[in-house]
Structure 1
């Protein structure tokens, strides 16, 4: 059976030593009284809920899955509903929500750290409240006062849950060709008709109402993405007093049978003149939905961080207990017929790869979450702008780089188990299956790569990228004179220069041939991801070097050295791939494949 223990020691290291998060938060008037002790207490209790309440439901939920009934209703796996009730009664959905509507008003950073643990414990279950928070955020940003008053208190309490309804059978990422229609009605509402697919949490029995945020077209809408509007379409129509009225014309037509995340109801949703209310302005629905979509992209990165952590914990425990063969340098467990497999160099390679990617992802996710708090609440407009630019730049990197690395990490975890990794009872094969979807949804990782290089780097002449580059340069300047930092500073400086050069080369080639962007995008994102990780690992190594006698810091330093020696060199291959351009990809006629 798998095991999970919230990694509070490493969380505290990132929050308090690497980011000095509570000091940064105290600069925001909203969080002036928020302290480290409060943060630690919240995380300890959140960890208990994750470990004791939803982690035991992970394997059983995967085995049972969700069940659709003849009337279109859906039952979640045994225990999910009770766990959700406990989650709501404890006030967890309200953690980082607006106090004006019943929220606790805590930092987004706190919720992000909480969600790492929830995702480690049970990604399928966590998607229900996770999507709800995304719907909440979209309505906070773009809802009318009446919509906010009707929906936000219920979403914050968890009495109602939320979804995002984008994809259609013929239309995935290319939302410009969606067909769902919105017909104006006399009372100011709209009749929504169409079919949406891949709708996570689309129907379930956890909450009394489900609030769908649906993209659709008005009758006179222009073609393409400029003709998309956003609508609130509740499962049950709210009455003026907040109670539930009649059933709306939206029903789950089917549950999609998936490779992983079986405990989450991924639905085909049929809208048959369902009543909806517009969010934001006509034909500008993508602007409103992007609040939820960007939040979801960061959330998917956090999902993968959670899976990477739990997979690492289990493969590490197995490697210490499983005895196979002798060490190449002579027996280590002399009282046993064989040594534990952790003595073997390649098993250590797999474990250290998991550890290096997981700990860097934690630092990355928490840093971005802290910048979101600063973007929204810092009193200095320039700081808000800088943080907004960095969050925009790094959102596709969080989504794509972390999910790619986590799929590799869960596969490595399975490999550590050998044949037992293929056996369900050990839990590892579920982590591989669950991790695989994270590379696809909320925009495939290719789409994230195109977004990074096209919209976030080349579109502004590299201005946002240069803001991150200045952080790297400042750290290099601060530590360049330290001999013990040389092994980290020199490769970090080298990669920073190469990213600058590579960006310019791709931009110049793309002006002559736009296909160059598509050809270079995926390796380019991984290079940028490694630049972020190299900067973070160098910073973590700097802290560890000053505490050489403590085992925790010794492990941190050794992992940093492993990352720079064994993982960062991937960038040499990636840069060559990006420079190879579009010709090797586009030369072959499609008919000859």
Structure 2
């Protein structure tokens, strides 16, 4: 059995859609010149596909059979250290033997130097077997690459420009240790009283007279928090307010000395969770833990976004793997279970469920791959520009445009991917249980585990609601910054919806037009509410009120109420655009696009109607409550 070879849609991306040539050129600084590297891009592509095929077999044959024992053997703490199930230790020993922790890490640091996209695809394969194992896997190379990116950003990584060789990087020894499978790390954000609201964080960092940093405080819900390397965000600037008071630090949880291990970070407990039983979710305490400042003081939030953005893309692939597993359990059961003279997959409602699950998974994968490709193009093109720039100005300008375009695409798609994949993972897992009926409710078939595992997806790495607010804010701000470009997009979408030569192209354009109309509705209603709020003021004060006096808690109430509906419309349009682009290059993808449009078109009409015609009563009630609270204060 092989989780890669049996997945035609995944193979479409790996073998047809992904431009491995471009990603190879971005990843291989010395393509054709490095004796340890590849002679050309085709040789590199062959290697990447071999990795995926090998990993697909390993996961199917050696990881998946071990997962039931991970469910049965709980994680525990002994003498202050987390003890993992025996099966987990066996799986990660196998990964260490195969060198998988260094898959995307540069060759000069002991890795394979494969594109990050290939690493994300292995994450999907692993998540199909078990998402808790996949998350722990992600905090190996994911942390190693974060260390490298932070060093690149702060210019503490050195290259030889003549030979295009990486000479050194700030945390080189730590990265090598992770690549060797001897360590991993975690992303330490959440606190007992601060989650999505990072400005409310209480963990502190102080600097002594010798310039050394120390972190104190508590963090909770830290995935793989029993690792050695902790990327921690803490309040370092007591004289500043909000996010500007936060800085980012690397904290080593322990030091191994001749006298034994000396811990700087205490594991208070391992959480007992609904799902993800193979992943250690820890509560941690720091008391003057030695720390290293990452980047500049006061830029911790910006630095953490680098890690969080990739984590959110990773969650997208994690959700795809889980949903793929749920679909296959449901499909296999439905093909074998007979009722009323035929297998239940031949019953109309069940057939509809299965087709919708398949289409949604294909949509998730379309967003995820496109997002991952452009995040990698943005990061690696920035690396070339900063450290290995071209000699001619024309090439530099072309690279700058490429980097800016890819950064914008990644920023646009990441919240859509995280939102949609997380919500669909829960829905598809629940649908699988429904198809199995009573069999889905018992442990034997594994469907109930998938729902337990899926429930956290809309919560961690930024809730679905946070993703919706981010998407709404970015689109409204983009419209305000460049209204001329927005109007041009509206005109183009309307023209294409009427005159595009291909009927499918016209339907895709209509979805794009609907998304733009919804965006305009949110902004116009927000502006109208602002007019009503200031109409009692003298006319000469209106300009100041519109340009400077915006209260995000009050003035954007309508847009915030409908942010999630707007996000769903954006997803429907974005997926249609991806399938349309694929269909133009690979005609066999037209059928996928047709399936998507059949469901997306009525869904978007419904969501548009909700945005235009609901919410007045609720917003009025909330406004009355806010006014009463302000009066009481």
Given candidates 206, 229, 237, the residue that maps to 1:211 is 229
Number of residue pairs matched by the alignment: 555
Contact 1:515 1:582 in 2 (8 A): no
Q: Deviations over 1:61-87 (max 9, x none)?
A: 223331123x22111122101211110
Residue 110 of structure 1, CA deviation: 0.9
Given candidates 350, 365, 381, the residue that maps to 1:347 is 350
Contact 1:138 1:289 in 2 (8 A): no
Rate the CA distance shift 1:195–1:376 in 2: closer, same or farther, 3 A: closer
Contact 2:359 2:592 in 1 (8 A): yes
**Residue 455 of structure 2 aligns to a residue in which SS?**
helix
Given candidates 263, 273, 293, the residue that maps to 1:248 is 263
Written as runs of structure 1 = structure 2, the 5 A alignment for 1:167-186 is 167-186=190-209
Does the alignment pair 1:491 with 2:507?
yes
Contact 2:367 2:413 in 1 (8 A): no
294-303 vs 456-465, which moves further: 456-465
Does the alignment pair 1:227 with 2:245?
yes
**Residue 288 of structure 1 aligns to a residue in which SS?**
helix
Q: Deviations over 1:354-404 (max 9, x none)?
A: 100111211221122222232233472211110111001111011001111
Contact 1:520 1:581 in 2 (8 A): no
Written as runs of structure 1 = structure 2, the 5 A alignment for 1:420-459 is 420-455=439-474, 457-459=476-478
Contact 2:2 2:57 in 1 (8 A): no
Give 5+ residue unaligned stretches, structure 1.
204-208, 326-337, 547-552
Q: Deviations over 1:515-534 (max 9, x none)?
A: 12211211111111111112
Given candidates 409, 414, 435, the residue that maps to 1:390 is 409
Distance (whole Å) between structure 2 residues aligned to residue 466 and residue 160 of structure 1: 48
Where does residue 42 of structure 1 map in the other structure? 51
Where does residue 75 of structure 1 map in the other structure? 83
Where does residue 135 of structure 2 map in the other structure? 127
Q: Deviations over 1:127-148 (max 9, x none)?
A: 1121233322332222455742
Higher relative contact order (CA 8 A, sep 6+): 1
Distance (whole Å) between structure 2 residues aligned to residue 88 and residue 294 of structure 1: 26
Q: Deviations over 1:537-571 (max 9, x none)?
A: 33455566x4xxxxxx5xx6555433222344211
Does the alignment pair 1:284 with 2:299?
yes
Contact 1:480 1:489 in 2 (8 A): yes
Where does residue 532 of structure 1 map in the other structure? 574
Greater Rg, structure 1 or structure 2? 2
295-304 vs 146-155, which moves further: 146-155
Distance (whole Å) between structure 1 residues aligned to residue 479 and residue 114 of structure 2: 33
Rate the CA distance shift 1:152–1:438 in 2: closer, same or farther, 3 A: same
**Residue 569 of structure 1 aligns to a residue in which SS?**
helix
Contact 1:308 1:358 in 2 (8 A): yes
Distance (whole Å) between structure 2 residues aligned to residue 562 and residue 462 of structure 1: 36
Give 5+ residue unaligned stretches, structure 2.
32-39, 158-168, 382-394, 531-554, 629-633
Residue 198 of structure 1, CA deviation: 0.6
Where does residue 418 of structure 2 map in the other structure? 399
Contact 1:137 1:291 in 2 (8 A): no
Rate the CA distance shift 1:430–1:588 in 2: closer, same or farther, 3 A: same
Distance (whole Å) between structure 2 residues aligned to residue 452 and residue 468 of structure 1: 21
Distance (whole Å) between structure 1 residues aligned to residue 406 and residue 488 of structure 2: 10
Rate the CA distance shift 1:430–1:233 in 2: closer, same or farther, 3 A: same
Written as runs of structure 1 = structure 2, the 5 A alignment for 1:96-495 is 96-143=104-151, 144=156, 147-203=170-226, 210-218=228-236, 220-237=238-255, 246-325=261-340, 338-378=341-381, 380-455=399-474, 457-459=476-478, 461=480, 480-482=500-502, 486=503, 488-495=504-511
Distance (whole Å) between structure 2 residues aligned to residue 80 and residue 474 of structure 1: 54
TM-score by length of 2: 0.81
Residue 309 of structure 1, CA deviation: 0.8
Distance (whole Å) between structure 1 residues aligned to residue 368 and residue 222 of structure 2: 25
45-54 vs 171-180, which moves further: 45-54
Rate the CA distance shift 1:22–1:320 in 2: closer, same or farther, 3 A: same
**Residue 79 of structure 1 aligns to a residue in which SS?**
helix
Contact 2:4 2:52 in 1 (8 A): no
Distance (whole Å) between structure 2 residues aligned to residue 147 and residue 245 of structure 1: 26
Does the alignment pair 1:503 with 2:526?
no
TM-score by length of 1: 0.86
292-301 vs 59-68, which moves further: 59-68
Rate the CA distance shift 1:244–1:280 in 2: closer, same or farther, 3 A: farther
Distance (whole Å) between structure 1 residues aligned to residue 76 and residue 270 of structure 2: 8
